[in-house]
Structure 1
Amino acid sequence: MRNLLLVAKREYLEQIRGRAFRITTILVPALFGVLIGVMILAGRSASGAKHIVIASNDAALADAVRTQFLAHDQSKSQIDVLAPVTLAERPGLIDQVKVKSIDGFLWIDAPVGKNPTAIYESQTSGDFITNARLGSSLNHALVRRRLAASGIQSENVDDLLKDVDIDTRTVNKQGKEVKSNAMSSFWKGYAMAILLSMTTMIYGMNVARSIIQEKTSRIFEVMLATAKPSDLLAGKLIGIGAVGLTQIGIWVVAAIAIGGSVAATMLSGQMDMHFSWVEGVSFPAYFVLGYLLYASLFAGLAASCETEQELQMYTPLAALPIWLSFALIVLVMNNPNSLLSVAASLFPATAPIIMMLRIGSEIPPFWQFAASFGIMILSIWGVLWVSSRLYRVGILMYGKRATLPELVRWLRYS
């Protein structure tokens, strides 16, 4: 135990005193803040001011579409109406798009007694937001015209088509209604998942790099004179894991300290994020379990590799469960209690991220937490059992590539 604690202390102090720890502790939250700010600003101005022409053989319909578009436009776009027009005038509009004198034009062909057809011509096919807004404006204008044609007065048409905002609430286990926000739940779960995956992978890789560096420098041959291989591996896992918890603790304290600042209020005003005690307890618990699982896996890989370049070739395979977790993010947030969501939250390699995503949307039942923790602990024990045996033999193996039959022999040697 004494040797284990000495190794853990050495790893912890070496990481804490390093320049990389100080830089990442400051830069990571700063970069996240910048990223969130950019995303909010980009969302507000996703469809910037445009110069669009609405051309139609029906002047009244074109004016109605323009009115509808500008009624919900916050980007101060310039919308011109060209009506009535003939088909011969369309090439001229295409030329204006080509020379970029306009951003695009909506061509509406409205035959008498038939449904109109519409084509939007623009410089790019990626401006789906403007396309969707033009489509919505055209459809609203057509509905207004049809209601008016049926004899309904214009002021009554406005009342009939008035939008209604939906107040989203969830019902907790006590049967009480709790106000919620779908977007804030999504981003809260996503932020916790990406922070968890990033820190778990970073510190898991730190364990692997430490093993490779000490293996190539032959320092292990000196350390093995006073400590057992199992103590060296356990000490590395505990020491580097404590570094990760320290860094996350610093970020949490800093977030609480600046939580009332003007910048934080501006960023969180629309998100309205609130964290429950379940999230506060689950996040460090899943960080520790996820770190131990991936760090043990990386330790076994590092013991079987000769160089850091060889280790990097296996890293994508080890990170595959994390990529799978984020591939399921939409399903998990929309239906957190589906069979696939529950199965992914119990599968040990994806459980930390998937469970945090589920918590961000809805608190799972207690038995699922218990099952998830239990399966992860058993999996960690199994991976540690294999990795420790590979570690005992692999740290002293030089100049020989570890094939699969060779790894099986290493397990028998130990």
Structure 2
Amino acid sequence: MNKTAIIFKHEFLTLIRRTGFIIMTVAIPLLALVFIAGGEILSAITGGEPGPADTVEIGYVDPSSVISGHEEQGFIKFIRFESIEAANSNLVAGDIAEYIVIDPDYLDSGAVARFTPSRELEVPGDRFVAIRDFLLDNLLGPAVSPDLLDRAKAPVNLSSIRVDPATGLPSEDQGGFAALVLPYLFSILLVMAIFTSSGYLLQGLAEEKENRVMEVLLSSVSARELITGKVLGLGAAGLAQMAVWLLSARFLADMASQNFADVLGALEVSVYFVTVALAYFIMGYLLYAIIMAAVGSITSTVRESQQLATIFSLLAVSPLWGLVFLVENPDHPAAVFLTLFPFTAPIATIIRIGATEVPLWQIAASMGLMAATTIGLLLLSAKVFRAFLLMYGKTPKLGEIVRMLRQA
């Protein structure tokens, strides 16, 4: 067995036996299981029917005389009061949850004032719907049929169907919220897996350098063999972690009941998506692992290594900060740039795949640029290793780094 393979085996086995790595690998599926179990328990408690169990009483004052009845609206009951003072005293006494006052010129202004004892960011959706339907029933009920009145309350049941431009037929990939859920969750797992593995690489190099173990290692193996074995070994551990998460996700999706059927039932994990996602995981890991290796060789302590590595970590997750923009504008030039820019490509591309059909040329160009950047950084990191791996005592300044790299 050659030296690179020995280092690969050692790093892989060491990482997968770490308590922190095991906890991280197991914690994600366990949290999802708790979430699903919580939904099942909540559904059992409520009997599978959402909404309040008790009747809510809302008072109303009608100087406009537009209300003639229809005071039962689902679980909400409207109670008439002849004056604002009477309604207000019942509200203070806790006999009603809130009350509304219909403007005397309501037919011209549509003005309705709502009085409630609690602070709210906005009117709760169920209360707004009940008040709206209460007014519609009284305004239109005497003049139109019940079917027409029901349609007036819900005039549109809109569905969007994507047409395949090539065939003119409904596309198999309809997109929508469900299509975005999987790329978003996968991008989160991608970030966690990449930085778990590359973070251990950074920490290991810094500790070995700080404890002078590196001197012993480099007396037996070359710098190239050392970094290659470490990067590949930790990368294999990260890939194994991703495999556990994906297999768990498939198992947990099958366990989810009708509580999540609207979302989970529409999820489609295509071979294309899995292939692209795994390719970006491998390339993203190699890119950031090489960067972390260079950072670990330059800095003199673990703390300094972690502080410097934070800059690259923030750069990698930056597409998540603009998640709403990427989802709403997946074909914007800025979104295309984030796909082509090697340091943001893994996350940006995965998110865009959930929102639109990313052209193959953009994915190919993105991977090509990532590969070229990785190779370039690998060559540069070899120089960094030779120049700084055995340097102790202080972290060199930027000018010193440039000068020593030119001499390496």
Mark yes or no: TM-score above 0.5.
yes
- In structure 2, the residue matched to 1:23 is 23
Please say if 1:92 is aligned against 2:89.
Answer: yes
What is the CA distance between 1:348 and its match in structure 2?
1.5
Q: Could you tell me which of 131, 140, 145 is aligned with 1:138?
A: 131
Q: In the alignment, which residue of structure 2 is the partner of 1:360?
A: 354
Report the CA distance shift for 1:257/1:111 in structure 2 as closer, same or farther (over 3 A): closer
Aligned-pair distance for 1:384?
Answer: 2.8
Q: Distance between the aligned counterparts of 2:189 and 2:69, measured in 1?
A: 50
Shift of 1:7: 1.9
Give the counterpart letter for 2:339 in structure 1.
S
3-state SS in 1 of match to 2:124 = helix
Counterpart of 2:341?
347
User: 2:61·2:100 contact (CA, 8 Å) conserved in 1?
Assistant: no
Contact 2:68 2:138 survives alignment (8 Å): no
Counterpart pick for 2:116 among 110, 121, 130: 121
Is 1:56 the counterpart of 2:60 in the alignment? yes
1:289 to partner: Cα distance? 1.0
- Of 192, 197, 211, which aligns to 1:198? 192
Q: C-alpha separation between the residues in 1 aligned to 2:364 and 2:84?
A: 69
Equivalent of residue 109 in structure 1, options 99, 102, 115: 102
Counterpart of 1:249 (choices 229, 243, 247) is: 243
Give the CA deviation at 1:13: 2.0
CA contact (8 A) 2:99 2:114 kept: yes
Flag the 1:319–1:333 CA change in 2: closer, same or farther, 3 A. same
Please give the alpha-carbon distance, in whole angstroms, between the structure 1 residues aligned to 2:374 and 2:104.
70
Q: What is the root-mean-square deviation of aligned Cα atoms in Å?
A: 3.2
The answer to whether the 8 Å contact 1:54/1:66 transfers is: no
Shift of 1:251: 3.2
SS in 1 for 2:292: helix
CA distance in 2, matches of 1:139, 1:9: 67
**1:213-244 C-alpha deviation (Å, 9 max, x unpaired):** 11122111011112221221122111100111
Which residue is equivalent to 1:73? none
SS in 1 for 2:275: helix
- Does the residue aligned with 2:59 lie in a helix, a strand or coil? strand
Partner of 2:80: 83
Tell me which amino acid in the other structure corresponds to 2:385. Answer: Y
- 1:48–1:319 distance in 2 versus 1, CA, 3 Å: farther
Letter matched to residue 251 of structure 1: W
| Amino acid in the other structure paired with 1:6 | I
Q: Which residue of 2 aligns with 1:286?
A: 280
Distance 2:366 2:14 in 1: 33
Write the distance in 1 (CA, Å) between the matches of 2:331 and 2:39: 29
Query: Equivalent residue for 1:157?
Result: 149
Shift of 1:120: 4.6
Which of these residues, 354, 370, 378, is aligned with residue 376 of structure 1?
A: 370
Q: Which amino acid aligns with 1:117?
A: V
1:162/1:411 Cα in 2 relative to 1: closer, same or farther (>3 Å)? same
> Residue type of the partner of 1:270?
D
* Alignment partners' CA distance in 1, 2:207 and 2:245: 29
The SS at the match of 1:396 is coil
* Residue pair 2:183, 2:351 contacting (<8 A) in 1 also: yes
Given that residues 301 and 311 in structure 1 are in contact (C-alpha distance below 8 angstroms), is that contact kept between their aligned partners in structure 2? yes
Question: Contact between 2:299 and 2:394, CA under 8 Å: does it hold in 1?
Answer: no
State the partner residue of 1:11.
Answer: 11
2:403 is aligned to 409
2:36/2:256 contact within 8 Å kept: no
Aligned residue identity for 1:249: A
Change (3 A) 1:106 1:292: farther
Q: Which moved more, 1:173-182 or 1:265-274?
A: 173-182
The aligned residue for residue 170 of structure 1 is: 162
Q: Could you tell me how far apart the structure 2 residues matched to 1:268 and 1:153 are?
A: 36
Q: Provide the secondary structure at the position in 2 that maps to 1:205.
A: helix
Q: Which amino acid aligns with 2:86?
A: E
Q: Which moved more, 1:26-35 or 1:39-48?
A: 39-48
Aligned mate of 2:322, from 314, 323, 328: 328
Distance 1:55 1:199, change over 3 A: same
In structure 1, C-alpha distance between the alignment counterparts of 2:185 and 2:36, rounded to whole Å:
10
Q: CA deviation at 1:173?
A: 5.8
Name the % identity. 25
* Contact 1:12–1:242, Cα closer than 8 Å, also in 2: yes
Specify the SS of the correspondent of 1:171: coil
Q: Is the 8 A contact 1:303 1:394 kept in 2?
A: yes
Deviations 1:136-194 (A, max 9, x none): 33334444544457x43444322444454334433346433136462311211211111
CA 1:210–1:250 in 2, change beyond 3 Å: closer, same or farther?
A: same
- 2:203 paired with 1:209: yes
Q: Which amino acid aligns with 1:57?
A: V
The alignment's TM-score, normalised by the length of structure 1, stands at: 0.83
Q: Contact conserved, 2:71 with 2:78, CA < 8 A, in 1?
A: no
Cα distance in structure 2, aligned partners of 1:247 and 1:329:
25
CA contact (8 A) 1:230 1:392 kept: no
CA contact (8 A) 1:341 1:354 kept: yes
- Residues 33 and 252 of structure 2 are in contact (CA less than 8 Å); yes or no, is this contact kept in structure 1? no
2:40·2:257 contact (CA, 8 Å) conserved in 1? no
Aligned to 1:74: none
Please, what TM-score do these two structures have when normalized by structure 2? 0.84
